[in-house]
Amino acid sequence: MTFVTLAHRFTRRRLALILYLLATLFAAAPAVAQSAPDVAPLSSTASTVQQDDEAAVDRAEPDFVVVNLPTTLRLPLYKSNFRLTHRFAGNLRNGAFSEQAGNLFGIDQGALIGFEYRFAVARHVQAAFYRSSFDKTIQFYGKYDAVRQQHSVPVSISPVVSIEGTDNFQEKYAPAVGAAISREVGTRFAGYVTPIWVHNTAASIAPIAHDHDGAAHTEASDPARVVSDTTYIGFGGRVRLGSSTYIAGEIVPRVQGYAPDQRAYGVSIEKRIGAHMFSLTFTNTFGTTFAQVARGGAANTLFLGFNLGRKFF
């Protein structure tokens, strides 16, 4: 059996897995629908006022991320959420449409894959573990949903703190601290401002290389690089179309410190079905952690990907 045959078989298996996940997501809607009611505004003109029931579906804020940036969505006590991320390596800005179609729009060229498990360890306190195949990065992450938008409070505020390390949390540590600040308007729109400070952002900036079988990795970076910090302010938003379809977007300008390449950005088309949330993403970066996003995205690139979330409440 030739190497080419093996590569094509691997690609078909990857595509079959993605199609299976999509079919399962949409077919299972009635069975996995959350029993809690949707959160509704008090009037058509007033901003959304959140109820005390944290398990209720917030129709303006259905997920724990915009594309990569955190949101202020609460997690009920002792409940959890699982999230799977894919960022395919094919650049959609390269080649003609026929070439892109022949590569299944980047799917044939491998992917950077991550998974996250999030758990509410106390009321309004979330702890998360995230592992990305990008440099075998592991991120430990905490969020405190301190302030919730109400009649007299115009915004929700959730401080965040994390530390990540490459090579399965053995080197290139990058702690971060910041906050997600949101404002909901009715049940149709949520806007976000997310200031984040990240330490040691220059620790892992080597370009991503791809083996012939599509496996992604990063080449060794220069150990003599100067340690740097980055402060960025992410801006994002999500608009609900219809009952459970969304369009979301974010852009991440760096305002101080180490800022290579272009500012990272991403957009997604999303569908909420019961406890599932599927987001088809388009980004200029493979980064999904705070430090990876701080390093920006490459010029003239656009990568297909997806986020798949499942709430366990």
- 234-270 tens-digit pLDDT: 999 999 999 999 999 999 999 999 999 999 999 999 9
Helix (H, G, I), strand (E, B) or coil at 227: coil
Residue 95 pLDDT: 87
In the beta sheet, which residues pair with residue 180? 158
Calpha distance 156→71 (Å, rounded): 9
Residue 135 pLDDT: 94
pLDDT in tens, 27-60: 444 444 444 445 544 343 344 444 568 899 999 9
CA distances to 269, 287, 293 from 283, rounded to whole Å, are 12, 9, 11
* pTM for this model (two decimals): 0.80
* Domain span including residue 46: 3-312
DSSP letters spanning 2-45:
-HHHHHHHHHHHHHHHHHHHHHHHHHTHHHH--SSPEE--SSSS
Residue 12 pLDDT: 54
Residue 35 pLDDT: 41
Residue 233 pLDDT: 98
Short-list 213, 272, 273, 245, CA closest to 10: 213
Residue 175 pLDDT: 98
> Tokens 């088809």 label which residue?
280
CATH number at residue 202: 2.40.160.40
Calpha distance 295→233 (Å, rounded): 13
C-beta atoms surrounding 68 within 10 Å = 26
What total number of domains does the chain contain? 1
Residue 42 pLDDT: 39
Residues in the chain predicted with pLDDT less than 50, given as ranges, are: 2-11, 22-37, 40-50, 207-215, 219-224
Residue 16 pLDDT: 53
